[in-house]
Amino acid sequence: VSSSSASSFGYQDEAVCTLQIYPRFAIKPGQDCILRVPKEATATTVIKTAVATLGMDTSKPYILVEVQEYGGEEWVLQASDQPVQRVLLWPRKAQDKHPQSDGYFFALQEGSYDGSIQYDVMTSVRQEKVAQGLANRGFVTQQPQEYNDLCNLPELTEESILGTLRHRFHKQKIYTFASNILIVVNPFKFLPIYNPRYVKMYENHTLGKLEPHVFAIADAAFHTMLNKQVNQCIVISGESGSGKTQSTNFLIHCLTAFTQKGYTSGVERTILGAGPVLEAFGNAKTAYNNNSSRFGKFIQVNYLESGVVRGAVVEKYLLEKCRLVSRGKTERNYHVFYYLLIGASEEEKDEFKLLRPEEYHYLKEEIPISEDQAEMKHEFRRLHQAMEMVGFLPPTKKQIFSVLSAILYLGNVTYEPKVVGEGLKVGPDRVLSAISDLLKVKVELLVEALTTRKAMTANDTLILPYSLSEAITARDSMAKSLYSALFDWIVLRINHALLNKRDLEESVPCLSIGVLDIFGFEDFKTNSFEQFCINYANEQLQYYCNQRIFKLEQEEYMADGIIWHNIDYPDNIGCISLFSKKPTGLFYLLDEESNFPQATDSTLLEKFKQQHQDNPFFVQTPVREPAFVIRHFAGKVKYQIKDFREKNTDHMRPDIVALLRSSECSYLRQLIGANPVAVFRWGILRATIRTLAVFNEAGQSWAEKHPGNIYGSLIDFSFDRSEEGPLEAFEDIFATFENKNLTDFLFHWIHCEMGNLIDSHSLKFIMGLTQHNRATRSLLHLHTKKKPPSISAQFQASLSKLLETLRKAEPFFVRCIRSNGDKREMHFDDALVLQQLRYTGMLQTVRIRRSGYGAKFTFKEFTDQFRVLLPKEISTPQQDITNLLTKMGLPSSSFQIGRTKVFLKESERQILQEALHKEVMRSIIILQRWFRSCLMRKQYLREREGIITIQVLFVWLARGCLVINSATFPGPRRNPTIKISRATRVQEKWNASLDREITDSNELHHLDEFLGNQVCVVDVYSSLNPNIGYKDLMSGYQKRVASLAGLKKASEVPLVVNLFQSVLDGFIRGELKRLETEPCKVKERNRRKSKRDKCPDGPLGHLFSTYQVTIMQSCDQCSSYIWGMEKAFMCSSCKMVCHKKCLSKITVNCTGHCDRKKEGEQTLHFGVPICALVRTADSVPFVMEKMLVHVEMNGLYTEGIYRKSGSACRAKELHHILEKDPQAVSLDNYPIHTITGLVKLWLRELPDPLMTYSLYNDFLYAADLPEASEQLRAIYRKLDELPPSNFSTLERLIFHLVKVAKEEAHNRMSANALAILFAPCILRCPDSSDPLLSMKDINKTTLCVEILINEQTRCYNQKMEEIQQLENAEAMAINQLKLRRQNTFVLMLRIISKYLYCTVQNLFCLWFRNELAFRLPEFEQDSSDAENMDSESLVSSESLLEDHFVSLNSEGQY
């Protein structure tokens, strides 16, 4: 896309853009059409313009096709699509000009008259199909079979390995396995295979089951750590430009995706943000790599034993400081300088005094950067976001950018001899002034530090002027020292953000996964001290790999006495000894020469040649050439001896340290401090003194204004406030309160922030972890003779610590291969790749992995893990294990039994694991059958015993009644006349009115208000379609009254029930009258929306939510790039990622859960996905709602309501009826335990459980979090990711369980008991999981459900308390209102009338009671009125009658 006003493709005019259209016609093949169209132009407009420009037949239909070579298919633009907007989603290089060679362009082709679209096939795919067709017909030779594991090659040679890698590379398959070693061939372009759906695809899969991928290595390391409880490390090795840094980013992205189970914690967020920050400050463009790491880093992520992230540590090694001041012509300085200069806003450029890149001496030697400006602006925004993720606040970022600007200005400092006297004149003045302002140092001190140096003598200090070369060296040394100190501080700040504060308070066993991204092997045209150290580190890393892959492996085989033929491998121990062997190693000779004042680089070279002239790894050079050659494992490298000594002792000079310590900027003073702990303590002390001074000044000011109110003498204290705050370096902590006054700041700080302050204890802890990294901050002190360790000594110490850490962990290896030396996309250089395969010993590696044994078990480990497959009694483990492996049909060459261990191939171990899984599942099924049979037998015996007892009692009672009747009434009896009172006729009317059902939520709400919240019968549940009958309410009320009355007052129950029924009848008649007179109003339910409601509605079953991209990814809909730190949308179920613009164009169904089925298509209600049972996303399946309502109305007071099981026959009968016609079934005809059993059965038979398989591990990790508040927050965040129908059903179920738990005193069902019963129903593990491991998760699943029940119970109780408080407040307000009315005459009349009314009412109640008591003997004992008019019930319900009449009276008053 280009502007119309620019001669070249630029950005001047944003209204009109240029498109290149390529027609697909036989008339003019290859001709393109350049159109200038507005941004809002649709595809229809572009097609018409292109057809007219090309002179095509306008009567034919045409379509515009968007072609993306990387996607593998093409997209036809709809009539309303805007092609310019599609171009904006392409890579930045393809946006300006989009020729066909770039793989991104628009094509114009003919359409069909019937509206159908003929999709063209990509050129590469079409060529592949044509070649395959020719091979099938015998015209060309058949292509070799593709192998994704080099160990499976039929013929193992260098040519076969190279051919396999080449064949896969051209198919854009850059990953290949060599057993458990991953080989990566750098394509020098982004491939769309790193989206979250790939993370999900490789999660919890055996290594080798799926296509090779870097995510497979991450998953294998993660689950190996959890299963074996052993630390893991992933070692990434390869040349510079082979893709190590990018592989590290992918690994960290995948590991954090695995561990973001409860929620994205601060640690994971900081890890994701630390990568871009470290890359910006530590990476640069080189001849071999556009993003080369100029330092080494080891990221160690710490986990709890359950897999939850605990913290992390970043260790850095040997930053290449010399790149700051000099580098090759085709190379660049560190990325951050270009990001700042090009991406900064105008305000930032003025604030930091920024110039154009070509105006800086430190940047002017590079290639032009105009072509990358748009990308650098984006990277600067990405850097801002990453720094915020790490924890840098705006004031801190300003301090960092000020230091960077000052470093660039130092390069512009120039020298010239003074006209008069000795010494140098430094300038220009504007540069010195800018440096002074940015660093906040005095210009005089700056000039002195740049032109003179101090020398100590026995009695005095001498000030000596620099020569020109010495002055330039001092200037560059200051710049390098500042940048190195800044980089160290950034790493320290990241480590503090990654620190888990609980590590300082308690000792918790932790595991770790370390990812090593160290500088690759380098051989430039000019190699210096940095390449010398870098290549030594690669020698050590190669030796470590050889030890792990070859030496230790073969030694273990020989020690255990199995049959094995040793495989020779290239050993580089001789080259390592050349570097580090005492006392003649090159490093030790370098340190010796660095300590001699008179030594030079020439004398150092002579000593090298003299000591190692006979060493085969040291190659002699001509006498006059200032260089030497070392034969490395990767080939010969020539090193220039120049500046070896100076770079080995490149410490911060004392004059520069003194200058920076004089700065008014406390942040700068902290940067150059040798001990951050001491700097922090001094900062706290200075802040305390400054606070006292401010208080003193405020007190004096107050005393002057109030001279007569002085209660004591003020502190006579003053303080110089010319400097800035001493804690400015810790601005991230205090910046929150920068706009508040001092009093508010101190108050909030004391009460809220003291716990979050960075303290000396945490600093000490971090310093202990990365002490070797801080050694480079050693200073040259004037008053001490002890010199700090040299750079080479520090580097060896840090490398030794790294290797020690790697030896304590189980390694996974990733071998990165550079595909070509020109950074060309998808170009495979056979010679270069073969060279790398040879010096890494890939042939030998594949051979030992192929013939070796990847799985090793001791006899005890084997018997413990595969005990189910072995005989019950193991007498001789070797023989029993051999018999098992032979019985399973494993070939004898695939395993060996040693003296103490069992050696297996990896494929055979997987076969064993699958057999174990099948046997365990078979055993579980047998146990379930046996347990169910025991339960059914027990239930049968219990019911049989009960039936026999009832039969015996019935026979006995029948005989007894017969005898009594015969003795009492010897003659014939006459049926007495049954008297039916008026109460009986009223009862019939009541029963008729009770047939009405509540169908409106408003009616249910009115009923609750009518009862005045005094009778706990109606539990209002917000449902769109309530279906509750008044008979159910009466039944529930009767059971509640009976449970409260007990056996002693059981006779009083009927009268109380009848009284309530009369009240309810009055309400029903009033409600019917209201419905007749008032129009029906339908109100929408006002419900709090969760986070997922804020996201756009997901089409075709998707559930999208916002997703921040941390690494470059591709849109799954349009295959365009999604850049790092941008916002996208991700489906929480199938992990599909796309732009916001692409949401409406999705045509692929969500694979995570089913689509809703059409109404009437499916009549079943059990074993059907929830989304197919509901009409709206926020409704509950009908069968589930019906059963829960029935249980709440009839079974809340039943003991063991969910613990006891009902009759299997009745359950089957009800199950069949509910499946057939759930509307017509009456649950009153079935026992309550039968219904509760079907509730659990309905949940268990769901294809995808209520809390979904995809989130199963997420809920487990949430339960493992150490703090209860973190557990609760993590669980609720994952609930927001459930599909809407699952969420609504789960919400209804938890509400039901809360109601059951509230009646624990009667049903004996606590929250824990309910969680134990329902956790296996709603939170099941996937069927593919190991049953033995899933048994260990029962406690975690139970805890998750129990947390939900307890939290909802707490919310329920809190809401009830709030209602009670409102009622109390209302009563208090009424009482106060009554008291204010007492002085009025009208109020007195009301009081008198009320008193008279109550007196009459009481007399009426007394008369009514006496009348009933007098007429009670007239009623027959066996009549219906005998139960309804019990005198004792009337006496006990007198208060209820009085309350009822009083309430009616109060209604009449208002």
Q: Is 238 labeled as ligand-binding?
A: yes
- Predicted pLDDT of residue 1153: 52
Strands (E), 11-103: 16-23, 33-38, 62-68, 74-76
> Cα–Cα distance between 8 and 1222 in angstroms, integer?
72
In angstroms, what CA-CA distances link 1167 with 949, 959, 1170, 1182, 1184? 40, 52, 9, 14, 12
The pLDDT of residue 1214 is above 70? yes
The confidence band for 5, taking pLDDT boundaries of 50, 70 and 90, is very low
Which whole number is the average pLDDT over 85-101? 70
How many residues does the structure list for the chain? 1454
pLDDT of residue 183: 95
Q: Closest Cα partner for 20 from 78, 75, 102?
A: 102
**Whether pLDDT at 70 is above 50:** no
**CA distances (Å), origin 26, targets 33, 109, 1383:** 15, 11, 105
What's the confidence (pLDDT) of residue 781? 45
Segment holding 1311, helix H or strand E: helix 1311-1322
> Which of residues 182 and 1425 earns the better pLDDT score?
182
Mean pLDDT, rounded, for 290-311: 84
Residue-level pLDDT at 1061: 72
**pLDDT for the residue numbered 185:** 95
Per-residue pLDDT tens digits for 367-416: 566 667 888 888 898 899 889 888 888 888 999 999 999 999 999 999 99
Q: Is 241 annotated as a binding residue?
A: yes
Q: Which of 428-442, 598-612, 1144-1158, 1425-1439 has the lowest mean pLDDT?
A: 1425-1439
- Report pLDDT for 744: 46
- Span 792-804, average pLDDT: 86
H-run or E-run covering 746: helix 742-748
Core vs surface per residue 1146-1185: b (16+ CB within 10 A) or e: beeebebbbebeeeeeeeebeebbbbbbbeebebbbbbbb
Q: Of the ranges 498-512, 921-935, 1087-1101, which one carries the lowest mean pLDDT score?
A: 1087-1101
Burial class for 1238, CB neighbours closer than 10 Å (0-12, 13-18, 19+): buried
Strands 296-304, 309-317: pairing kind: antiparallel
The band of 288, judged by pLDDT with boundaries at 50, 70 and 90, is: confident
Residue 212 has pLDDT above 90, yes or no: yes
Distance CA 530, CA 303 (A): 35
Q: Tell which residue, 240, 816, 321, has the closest CA to residue 537.
A: 240
Specify the pLDDT at position 736.
34
Tell me the HSE value of 551 on the side-chain side, using a 13 A CA sphere: 11
Report the range of poorest mean pLDDT among 10-24, 163-177, 1254-1268.
10-24
Other beta carbons less than 10 A from residue 1004's beta carbon: 18
Residue 393 structure tokens? 């606040």
Which pLDDT band, with edges at 50, 70 and 90, does 93 fall under? low
Q: Return the higher-pLDDT residue of 1363 and 247.
A: 247
Q: What is the pLDDT of residue 166?
A: 92
> Among all chains, which residue has been given the structure tokens 């990953």?
175
Average pLDDT over the chain, rounded to whole?
A: 76
Q: Is 1289 annotated as a binding residue?
A: no
* Other Cβ atoms within 10 Å of 739 Cβ, number: 8
CB–CB of 316/794 below 8 Å?
A: no
Give Cβ neighbours of residue 1168 (< 8 Å, ≥ 6 apart): 1162, 1246, 1247
Query: Nearest CA to 761 among 1068, 571, 999, 503?
Result: 503
Residue 243 in marked binding region: yes
Higher-scoring residue by pLDDT: 164, 326: 164
Q: With the C-alpha atoms ordered 320, 321, 327, 331, is the resulting torsion angle positive or negative?
A: positive
Using DSSP's 3-state secondary structure scheme, residue 714 falls into coil
Residues 775-803, mean pLDDT to the nearest whole number = 68
Q: How far apart are CA 1240 and CA 1237, in angstroms?
A: 5
| Tens digits of residue pLDDT in 1037-1080 | 777 777 777 776 677 777 677 767 776 776 777 667 666 655 44
Apex 711 CA angle, 705 and 715, nearest 5: 80
Residue 638 pairs in a beta bridge with 629
* Three state DSSP letters for 845-895: HHHHHHHCCCEEEEHHHHHHHCCCCCCCCCCCHHHHHHHHHHHCCCCHHHE
pLDDT of residue 719: 39
Tell me which of 421-435, 615-629, 1118-1132 is least confident: 1118-1132
Mean per-residue pLDDT, 1130-1143: 82
Amino acid at 817: I
- 525 — pLDDT class (breaks 50, 70, 90): confident
DSSP 759: -
Distances (CA, A) of 39 to 14, 16, 243, 1140: 8, 6, 38, 19
Tokens of 240: 């510079």
Percent of the chain scored above 70 by pLDDT? 72
SS in 3 state form for 146-191?
Answer: CCCEHHHCCCCCHHHHHHHHHHHHHCCCCEEEECCEEEEEECCCCC
Note whether 1004 and 998 are within 8 A (CB). Answer: yes
- Using CA atoms, how far residue 4 sits from 11, 16, 320, 1215, in Å, is 9, 6, 45, 72
Q: How far is 460 from 457, CA to CA, in rounded Å? A: 5
Residue 219: the pLDDT is 92
Tokens of 832: 């270069």
Look at 113-117, 326-330, 1106-1110 and tell me which has the smallest mean pLDDT.
113-117
Label the pairing between strands 901-904 and 1104-1108.
unpaired
How many of the other CB atoms lie within 10 Å of CB of 899? 10
Report whether 960 belongs to an annotated binding site.
no
- Give the pLDDT of residue 1449: 42
554 within 8 A of 847, measured Cβ to Cβ: no
Over residues 1392-1411, the mean pLDDT reads: 51
Q: Please determine, for residue 877, whether its predicted confidence score (pLDDT) is greater than 80.
A: yes
Beta bridge partners of 16: 38
For residue range 541-569, what is the model confidence (pLDDT) as tens digits? 888 888 888 888 888 888 888 888 888 88
- Token duo for residue 414: 């120039």
Rounded CA separation 639/524 (Å): 9
Q: State the average pLDDT over residues 210-238.
A: 91
For residue 341, give the 3-state DSSP assignment. Answer: helix
pLDDT at 844 over 80: yes
**Any known ligand binding at 244?**
yes
- Residue among 485, 472, 473 nearest 281 (CA): 485
Q: Are 564 and 558 in contact (CB under 8 A)?
A: yes
State how far the Cα of 115 lies from the Cα of 1411, in Å rounded to an integer: 90
